[in-house]
Structure formats: C-alpha cells, structure tokens
Structure 1
Amino acid sequence: MWDPVKYLDYADLRGRPFYDLIARIGATDPRRVVDLGCGPGNLTVSLASRWPGAKLEALDSSPEMVEAARAAGVDAQVGDVREWSPSPDTDVVVTNAVLQWVPEHRSLLRRWVEELPAGAWFAMQVPGNMDSPSHSLVREVAGRAEWASRVGGLRGVEAVDSPLEYAELFADAGCFVDAWETTYVQRLSGPDAVLEWITGTALRPVRAALDDGEWARFRAELAPLLNEAYPPRPDGTTWFPFRRVFAVARV
C-alpha cells in the first residue's frame, strides 16, 4: 500500500525532477498524453495544463494513489505498467519515479518504443541513488537477523541503469535520445529528516511487511545510522543529495 499523504510530504522537492523531465519534451500538439505511475495526481495535472487539447491517460498500481489522483481531478485508473500498451494516438508518455520498482523495465522500454507511433515522445526519470546511504543502510538493517526473513533482499544498485545505458537502449531501438543525470542537494527540515523522506518511498515495502510494533523497532534501528550519514546542521536542517537519472526519447 502507498500512503498518498506521506508521499506528498516534501511535495515541492519531490516534484523538481518531474518538471525538469517534461521541460525536455518537444511535443507541441499531442493527441494523447500518458502518465504511467501517476501517484496522487499532483504532477499529472500539469500535463493537462501544458497540453490542454490532449486526451490525458493516467494509471497507477495503487488504489490509494488512484483515489487521491481522482480527488485532484485526474481521471486515473488502477493498472500495472507491465500490462500497459500505448493506444495508436499516444504521442507523449511520461513515467516519473516508477520503473525502479519494475525489474523487467528494460524489456518494457523496448516494447513500448516499438508500439508507439513515429514521432512520439517517451520521457522517464528514476532515482539514481540506490548505492547512497539512504538506501544501503536500509538494506543493512533489513539484512539483520531479526528482519532478514521478513524484509531482506531489497533491491540495490541493479534496480536502474546509468544515463549512458539508457541512451544506448533507446538509440539501439532507433530513437533520438537525450539522457542525463542530476543530483539535487535537498535541504530537509525536522528530526530524522532523511528517515521521514524515505518513509514515503523506499521504505514502503518494509512498512508493508511489518506490524506497527516491528515497524517502530525497525525505524529506531535505522534512524541513528541515517543521522550519522546525513548529520543535521545546527539550524536543524539536513542536506540530502538526491541523484536522479533521466532519458527523453523521440521515436
């Protein structure tokens, strides 16, 4: 389960990569714009604003997120991106911070590009910080004896590729491609700031596997490790480097 309220903590900071991604899409009058993994819809609405003449299609695997998106005015549907195929009029596809959850996403990218009409745009963004302390420390704690049978085996750096590897994938599929990475140095506030940040995303599988008491103990083990890796400043804020990987392909 996803918690839309928790996910929307730091909504402005979480949204920065999305806006940087769609800024590189050159479509002017697309017929259909698709948001794969629309989440609570707070970013999807900007697609409707940019291309008001397009049919907007949005889906997410989480019923809770889809409910929140509909409340935000997005006609979202519950769906699995692995089962999605583009309609013949699909001219823009956006997938923002989704594909890291899908181990087979590389083969999906190849299939989607083959199925999209000529001239369509495909834009993707995934986290590139799987080897950072915010993720490696989660895997370290999850691998301890108390937790390994419940939450061990979390995915690591193999979850996503480098910008170069995505560029090669799209180029081999016959696309024009623009691929890059950006590290945003986020200034977070409040106690256990990085823990709170990843609670809405990376820690979701852990939370789903544990009851309330176990979850509290897991957080208590993880919090001091994260605070050591990301020490709070005297003013109570915390710097959090946030690397993201982008690719925009023209079919």
Structure 2
Amino acid sequence: MIDWNPDLYLKFGKERTLPSKDLISRIGLENPARILDIGCGSGNSTNELKKRWPNAEIIGIDNSSTMIEKAQLLYPEIDFRLMDATEDLSSLGKFDIVFSNAAIQRMTGHEELIKKWYALLNTGGTIAIQLPLADDIKGQQALYELEYVKKYKPYFEGKKLRFNNHKPTFYYDVLSHLSTAKDIQIWTTTYMHVMQGFEGILQWYESTSMKDYLNALPSDEFRENFKNNYLIKLKNVYSLRADGSVLFNYKRLFVVASKSK
C-alpha cells in the first residue's frame, strides 16, 4: 500500500503553504489562547499558525501516522496527534481558532463536519477552512477521466477516490444557518503554480489525490501505465512554456466565520 509521502508532498511545500498563509491573514484574532489545525499533514500549515500566534497552545491532528511523524520531526515544539477528524473531537476541549487547510475535501458529510468543528469554538472564536475546487482544476478532471478507462475501471468501482467539494454557496449556507455565526467571509483564489514540466504536475498528484488510485491498482506495471496515461492527458490540457515550465492553475475556496454569543 502506498502511504503518504511527506518528502514528495513537501517538494511543493511553498505552493502548498501559500493558501494557509492567505487563510491565516483573514483571521482577525490577536491573542487566541488555543488553536486546532485539522488535517495538519506534515505540519507546514501548523507552523504558520505558530509563527502568527507564538504564544498560543496549538494542536495539529491528522489520520496519517507517516505525516504526523514527519510533523513531529520538523516541528517538535508543536503538539501533533494521530486522530481522525471525522470522529468526535470534543475531548480536545474548546478552541479560539479551528483551522483546516486542504483537508476536508478528503472527507464526506461536509455539513455535519463543519457543524461539529464549529461547536469546538469558544464564543468569539473563528473557524477557517480552505479546500480545492476540483471541478475547476484541469489536472484533477484529467485524473477523474482515467476512472473510465476499460483496463482500470474494475479496480476503481465502489471506491471513494474523488475529492468531495460543493459550490461556494453550500458552505455559506451551512454557516449562515448557524444562529451564532457572524462576519462570514467567502472567496476563491486561483493560484498559478510554475511547475517543472508535465512531470511536475504528476508528482504533485502522486503525493496527494493520485495515491488512492495507485493503491487500487493491482501491480507496479499497472501503476506505471496509469501514470503514463495521466501524463498524456496532462499534455492535452496544459501547454509547455518556452522554458520548459507548465503553468498549473489551481482554484481554492476559502471560508472564515466568527462565533458570537
């Protein structure tokens, strides 16, 4: 089984960390006492939270032991824990900030999840969530198209492989229907990452959403064939620049809300 590869994931650390910085910049709290980072991965977003609020108690949780071990190695001063964010998190106590950067798309039941995470907030606290909008990312759609290739299809049937995301209005409505939610901010940003050829985009996906596809395939030969076919699809939807780079457009949704009395 192919587990998360923290080193490959962090090959694009700058690109993956930028959205967390943008999300943090919209949180108006000056002195939060406790912060929870849900789906912290290798800890890059958690470290940004620590840099912004160095005096806060910060807990990062993730369901990948490999990623948690990497986070503990990189940032030993932060409290990282192996936990499933879809389970009951009330044992962790209350927080002034509940933060989740690019994690909820790998979970189902977003309305209930957001309500559960929001319930962890102290009065006056802030929830901040970011997730990719897969429908607007050509590289993600190219990956989905391979599900229907005859030789792969039997191995993918019945498996939850795709990102879960809704339209921005869905997330606004979930929060706006909570009686104490106020100051809701919602926006999208399309990042244009400069990748080293089509192989750069392949590596980006190998470290995240392609992992589940590769795990479903029966052999290394199948996996290499799948990656080669994905490269062909990338060449049909992206253009190589004169310097050998590919401009990789990646659209993300951001949602921030405060909890009033």
Which residue number in structure 2 is paired with residue 206 of structure 1?
Answer: 213
Output the CA distance in 2 between the equivalents of 1:197 and 1:246.
21
Give yes or no for the alignment of 1:220 onto 2:228: yes
1:183–1:243: 8 Å Cα contact kept in structure 2?
yes
Closer, same or farther in 2 for the Cα pair 1:130/1:204, shift >3 Å?
farther
Aligned partner of residue 28 in structure 2, secondary structure: coil
User: Which is further off, 207-216 or 224-233?
Assistant: 207-216
Output the CA distance in 2 between the equivalents of 1:88 and 1:225.
46
Which residue number in structure 2 is paired with residue 44 of structure 1?
Answer: 46
Which residue number in structure 2 is paired with residue 197 of structure 1?
Answer: 204
Which residue number in structure 2 is paired with residue 85 of structure 1?
Answer: 89
- The Cα offsets for residues 186-238 of structure 1, whole Å up to 9 and x where unpaired, read as 11114522222211112011122233221101011111111121121121000
Output the CA distance in 2 between the equivalents of 1:55 and 1:139.
40
Normalised TM-score (structure 2): 0.90
1:39–1:69: 8 Å Cα contact kept in structure 2?
yes
- Give the Å deviation of 1:53: 1.9
- Which residue of the other structure, out of 8, 16, 19, is the alignment partner of 1:14? 16
Counterparts of 1:1-251 in structure 2, within 5 Å, are 1-73=3-75, 74-86=78-90, 87-152=92-157, 159-174=164-179, 175-176=181-182, 177-210=184-217, 211-251=219-259
Output the CA distance in 1 between the equivalents of 2:71 and 2:210.
22
Aligned partner of residue 195 in structure 1, secondary structure: helix
Percent identity of equivalent pairs: 29
- Give the Å deviation of 1:173: 0.8
Letter in 2 for 1:181: T
User: Which is further off, 108-117 or 75-84?
Assistant: 108-117
- Give the Å deviation of 1:154: 5.3
Structure 1 runs, 4 residues or longer, greater than 4 Å off: 152-157
2:161–2:212: 8 Å Cα contact kept in structure 1?
no
Aligned partner of residue 37 in structure 2, secondary structure: strand
Q: CA RMSD in A?
A: 1.7
1:187–1:240: 8 Å Cα contact kept in structure 2?
yes
Aligned partner of residue 43 in structure 2, secondary structure: coil
2:36–2:60: 8 Å Cα contact kept in structure 1?
yes
User: Which is further off, 145-154 or 46-55?
Assistant: 145-154
- The Cα offsets for residues 114-163 of structure 1, whole Å up to 9 and x where unpaired, read as 34221111000000133532122212212212111212455557x21222
- Give the Å deviation of 1:243: 0.2
